[in-house]
Homo-oligomer: A and B are copies of this chain.
Amino acid sequence: MAKEQLNQFKAADSQFAERVKDSFLKQDALLTIGATIQKVEPGSVEISFDYDQRLTQQHGFIHAGILSTVLDSACGYAAYSLMPADAGVLTIEFKTNLLSPAKGERFVAVGEVKKPGRTITVAEGQMFAWEGAQEKLIATMTGTLMTVTGRSEVAG
């Protein structure tokens, strides 16, 4: 049995990548973190950032909330990439599991849509830590996103 349906989504809006990147640049929190968007595909987004002591908790690891910030944006934009051109995206909730201490030189979050929907989209995120050529899965997220239309304060 196939354990997972293949996630081959088709974007409703051909300008989805520009739309995601434009919105990303408005997320000042991600600029503060130093995050950059690496990849935008229909239903899948990758965001990375470098280790920075300004982002740490008391043991010198990246703070779980900072990991969640980047994972939430990766999941949110993965969902957003499949939405119509005039929609906005809002996070309803997410859950983060911390699998290993967030040590490393560079961190890469991959957000992927698990189930798109007209109103509700579920996405999953994985955060990898890189130390040299070594990659390690350090955190996962499941997020629930909402498509919002007709609310001017939530455009994009």
Contact = CB atoms under 8 A, between A and B. Distances in A.
A108 interface: yes
| Candidate in A1, A72, A97, A99 with the most chain B CB atoms within 10 angstroms | A97
A73 interface: yes
Nearest to A31: B54
Contact of A28 (B53, B65, B93, B155): B53
B54 A63 contact: no
Contacts of A8: none
Contact of A58 (B66, B101, B156): B156
Nearest to A98: B91
A119 B122 contact: no
A68 interface: yes
